[in-house]
Amino acid sequence: MTATSGAACGKVILLGEHAVVYGVPAIAAGITRGALAEAEPAPDGRASLVLGGSEHGFEGAGDELAQAFAALCAELPGAPPARVRAESALPPGGGLGSSAALGVAIARAVGALAGGAPSDRVLAAAGAWERVFHGNPSGIDTTAAALGGCFRYTRADGAAPLEMRSDLWLCVGLTGVASSTKAMVASVAHLFERKPEIKDSTLQGITALVQNAALAISAGDIVGLGRLMDLNQMLLAGLFVSTEDLERLCDLARQRGALGAKLTGKGGGGAAIALLDAHSDAEAGGAGAPIIEAWRAAGYDGFITPIRSARALHAG
Ligand code: PMV
């Protein structure tokens, strides 16, 4: 049998992180930069997984990796024991869904050995993989990895894809500072306990921004979406989850023409996203290059990546 392959997207939260923990909807998206996996039936019948170059690998996973791979394969009972090679182009631990992208790509590649796993099986397999690393994850990362595009997400109802008028282009900037989702969520909870008035006003504000952003995305209003991202960043800074590095990344991006910029995910480090004024891949290269250059000059790494509309994704 010939080798099979699977691909999956990375994840960003465009608006609504932290508020989503309190029931407010967030808008998340799958970015094209993600993970790839190749699988073939194991000649000796023993399943194995090799992760690519160490800088793209899943750092610090240790024995958990074997456990996660076993949990994933157990959700794909029709597939033969597989020899898998996988690689993520996302920094591990940066809030960009690297482990979920690996889980979905591996599940797709292994599932393809048995003729292709349906999407609910892929999500179940990637969910089992994620639970080994992250306990009880919300499912936002695996959904973004599998679906791509933009989607509205609530804890109660899960993901609902958002119709996009056109692709969106982002610069993603990396602080290089690791932070813990659990600790950042706990720090916001602590602030809300001490200052309930901040909780009410922030959650109301973010709810309105997310509603308007969903409308902006479906109308193709990227200028409006950028402004809403800037406002969301102000509210996140008010929750003390932004950092000097994140503010620097956002300021540099705005100075170099980004339509809006904010942290993405837990904050306290991790990554920032900047929305580009672009309607095509070629325009994105032109609009993104000065931002990446400014970030590199300031000592930060970054990359340009699109969020493809679901239509474009399905067209292949
Ligand atoms: O772990 P990250 O960076 O993908 O961020 C998670 C998003 C939060 O809203 C902060 C937490 C959550 O569980 O939704």
Task: Express each pLDDT in 123-182 by its tens digit.
Answer: 999 999 999 988 877 889 999 999 999 999 998 999 999 999 999 999 999 999 999 999
Tens of pLDDT along 167-226? 999 999 999 999 999 999 999 999 999 999 999 999 999 999 999 999 999 999 999 999
User: Among candidates 252, 270, 55, which has minimal Cα distance to 175?
Assistant: 270
Rounded-to-integer distance, Cα 129 and Cα 125, Å = 6
Instruction: Answer whether residue 311 shows pLDDT above 90.
Output: no
The atom of ligand 1 lying closest to the CA of 155 is: 14
DSSP single-letter state for residue 113: T
Rounded-to-integer distance, Cα 185 and Cα 225, Å = 25
Instruction: Answer whether residue 78 shows pLDDT above 60.
Output: yes
- The terminus-to-terminus CA distance of the chain in angstroms comes to 24
The atom of ligand 1 lying closest to the CA of 18 is: 9
- Note the pLDDT of residue 58: 39
Instruction: Answer whether residue 62 shows pLDDT above 60.
Output: no
Rounded-to-integer distance, Cα 224 and Cα 244, Å = 25
Determine the distance separating the centroid of ligand 1 and the alpha carbon of 43, expressed in angstroms: 40
User: Using a 6 Å CB cutoff, which residues line ligand 1?
Assistant: 17-18, 20-21, 95, 138, 181, 184-185, 265-266, 270
Task: Out of 27, 142, 185, give the residue to mutate to test ligand 1, the one with the largest number of ligand atoms within 8 Å of its CB.
Answer: 185
pTM attached to this predicted model: 0.92
Mean pLDDT of the chain: 92
- Note the pLDDT of residue 256: 98
Tens of pLDDT along 253-295? 999 999 999 999 999 999 999 999 999 999 999 999 999 999 9
Question: How would you classify residue 246: left for phi > 0, otherwise alpha for psi between -120 and 50, otherwise beta?
Answer: alpha
- Note the pLDDT of residue 193: 97
Whether 141 is catalytic: yes
The atom of ligand 1 lying closest to the CA of 179 is: 3
Task: Out of 9, 14, 180, 181, give the residue to mutate to test ligand 1, the one with the largest number of ligand atoms within 8 Å of its CB.
Answer: 181
Between β-strands 149-154 and 26-41, what pairing exists: parallel, antiparallel or unpaired? antiparallel
